[in-house]
Structure 1
């Protein structure tokens, strides 16, 4: 699974990545994005792309609303087209979620050791995401999202058996196109990313707490 990641922005950088024009407010650097927090995502509405904050943890439009017992932050690539919560968004409500790094934890004696994973180039990359909109009884809209996860690549496998789906730029247009509903073609995009372009390193256990958020969380540490 993927339970934490990094969004540094600014929003103008993400807008340029997705060819979105117009004025864009600044985004505070966030080194420890956690479930239930807002994340910046790119989606297509009425033929136009937009950057929109979405609450991380999908709330299906047909559900009774947010439920703290079930945090649907990750959808499995193998079953995303079948699960009731995800199959509708997978058909027509897909989004792209930019990031600079994500975190995973490896079991070690005495606990778990966190790792940061990012591109060797340090450039932002993009997760494959889904979004949905739930209407409260008073008419208020809650817009939420989930990341899709797949099997780990060779770099991640010693740390964790799953990793978020990272989409190469040539797949972004098709992924965002709500009119494209070829399920098998979409499923074919949900493959592990090329490990040759990525790096992973040990970081401080301070990242374990969502209350900690700062550049020091991305600093490599030597734990022996």
Structure 2
């Protein structure tokens, strides 16, 4: 799964990396992004790519209660094209969720050791995501979920699942405004190859989403 991550780059780095023309309203970096918080996502509106904030935890347009979002921070890529909550979104509401590392907890005996995981070859990257708009009375809520897959050999030692990180050359294709068949979107994700990752241990300080400062990412001494 993917339950915490970071985004520490400055706004200009993000605009350059993802070829965005418009500034990001209210951009703020974070050392400890958690479910239920607003996260930076990129969509294509049919004319251009746009970056903005959505709440992490998908609330489908048909949901009766927005609290369902806390159960839908991740969606399994293997079945998303078949599930009622995600099928239509796979066809037409795909997004990039911008990050520069993520956290995972490795279970060793009776302990869970937090690790920070980064790309070896690049600083910024994007998770493959899905988004939706939920409306209730006078409230409009934009939310998203991170697509996950079985862990690759590197991640298997840490956790059995991992977020799908899109190769740079496939980011624009994932958010193309053209409607696609959900099964085709599924096949697209199945073909994504994982780039090399690296990881190091961090303090359990990161366990609390209330903690959001540099201490979250300081490497622990071996």
Length-normalised TM-score, structure 2? 0.92
Distance 1:84 1:200, change over 3 A: same
Compute the RMSD of aligned alpha carbons: 1.9
Displacement of 1:7 = 1.2
1:144-155 equivalences under 5 Å are: 144-155=143-154
SS at match of 1:85: coil
CA distance in 2, matches of 1:99, 1:58: 18
- Aligned equivalent of 1:43: 43
Corresponding residue SS for 1:144: strand
Contact kept, 8 Å, 1:155 with 1:200, in 2: the verdict is no
- For structure 1, which segment, 154-163 or 4-13, has the greater mean C-alpha deviation from structure 2 after superposition? 4-13
2:188 maps to 1:189: yes
Within-5 A mapping of 1:1-224: 1-25=1-25, 27-67=27-67, 70-121=70-121, 123-138=123-138, 140-191=139-190, 193-194=193-194, 197-222=196-221
> Could you tell me whether the CA contact under 8 Å between 1:65 and 1:136 is conserved in 2?
no
Q: Runs of 5+ in structure 1 lacking a partner?
A: none
CA–CA separation in structure 1 for the residues paired with 2:107 and 2:177: 39
**Cα pair 1:91 1:178 within 8 Å, conserved:** no
Equivalent residue of 2:154, what SS? coil
> Against the structure 1 CA distance between its residues 220 and 189, is the aligned structure 2 distance closer, same or farther, given a 3 Å change threshold?
farther
- Structure 2: segments with no counterpart, 5+ residues: none
Question: Deviation at 1:61?
Answer: 0.3
Aligned length: 221
Q: CA deviation at 1:120?
A: 2.0
- Pair 25,52 (structure 1): closer, same or farther in 2 beyond 3 Å: closer
Which SS does the other structure have where 1:105 is aligned?
strand
SS across alignment from 1:222: coil
State which drifts further: 114-123 or 206-215: 114-123
Q: Secondary structure at the match of 2:123?
A: coil
**Displacement of 1:49 after TM fit?**
1.2
Superposition deviation, residue 83 in structure 1: 1.1
